[in-house]
Amino acid sequence: MANPKRGANSCSNIMSMNGNYFPRKGKIDVEQSCLSKFPDFRESTKSDGNLTLLDGTFALSGLCPLNFSAAESILSITATDCWALLAPYMANVVCCPQFDATLVILIGHSSIYSQPLALNLTDAKHCLSDVEQVLEGQGASENLHEICSMYPSNLTEASCPIVDVKEMDSTVDSSRLLAACEKIDFVDECCNQVCQNPISDAAEKIALKNYSMASSNGDRVLAENSIMINDCKSIVLRWLASKLDPSSANRFLRGLSCCNINKVSE
């Protein structure tokens, strides 16, 4: 099925998160703006390389199947970016994109062992609560799910018909996705959607698995199922995160969120 070419526009300028325009040669400035985070105010709480929880106590459910140790460094970044005093004021720009990336990485890396790229609703409730507890214990704001409008249903498959890692491997163009997203160029991505286009193509392909109809009807199906395609994009992002180390996954996810923020700011 032929899809209209997305992101075909070429641009010589890209808007940074503070609303200023940088020339293309300013790639480093844009990247730093996208990935900037607050200074680690918790340095004084570290001892022998380990992070001491600020409040000293928190209780986890013990019912969340996610492997928190696989993304320990990312959780630390998120706690800093969602620092209690500033999170409500920097939610859309700093905290919430990082909180979302953390959840994507946690689910993605857990799928390496469990296979599903989504949680059932019961597990999602426990996991979202546990992640918030861990972050709050490291100084992050309370009720991040409210600040960032993140709910247990966001951690499930929603309406996407494919969530199994093996089925994803056999359905999507793995080499194209990894080549486009593994080492993201922030300026090129925001201008030309080098990574976003393959993600959208993969999401559409997964969504169409529910339909056994001629490709001539594909455009109509996609138009009628934009919600499903968006849900499948979340699955593709988790799949990509599972193929990268947590640091690389966090970088590409924050790069995509930076482009989305820039679109809103324009």
* Bridge partners (DSSP) listed for residue 22: 14
What's the mean pLDDT when you consider all of the chain?
80
Q: Which carries the bigger pLDDT value, residue 13 or residue 97?
A: 97
Residue 113 C-alpha from the chain's centroid: 20
Q: Which carries the bigger pLDDT value, residue 247 or residue 39?
A: 247
**Mind listing the pLDDT tens digit for each residue in 145-186?**
999 999 999 999 999 999 999 999 999 999 999 999 998 888
- Residue 59 confidence (pLDDT): 74
**Mind listing the pLDDT tens digit for each residue in 116-142?**
999 999 999 999 999 999 999 999 998
CA 217 to each of CA 37, 131, 201: distance values in angstroms, whole numbers, following the listed order: 46, 42, 16
pTM over cut 0.75: yes
Q: Which carries the bigger pLDDT value, residue 211 or residue 176?
A: 176
- Asked whether residue 33 carries a pLDDT value surpassing 70, the answer given is no
Q: How confident is the model at residue 90 (pLDDT cuts 50, 70, 90)?
A: confident
- Asked whether residue 19 carries a pLDDT value surpassing 50, the answer given is no
- Residue 223 confidence (pLDDT): 63
Q: What angle do CA 154, 202, 214 make, to 5 degrees?
A: 115
**Mind listing the pLDDT tens digit for each residue in 212-223?**
543 555 566 666
* Structure-block tokens of residue 50: 């380990």
Kindly list the domain boundaries of the chain, sorted by start residue.
65-155, 161-265
- Asked whether residue 39 carries a pLDDT value surpassing 90, the answer given is no
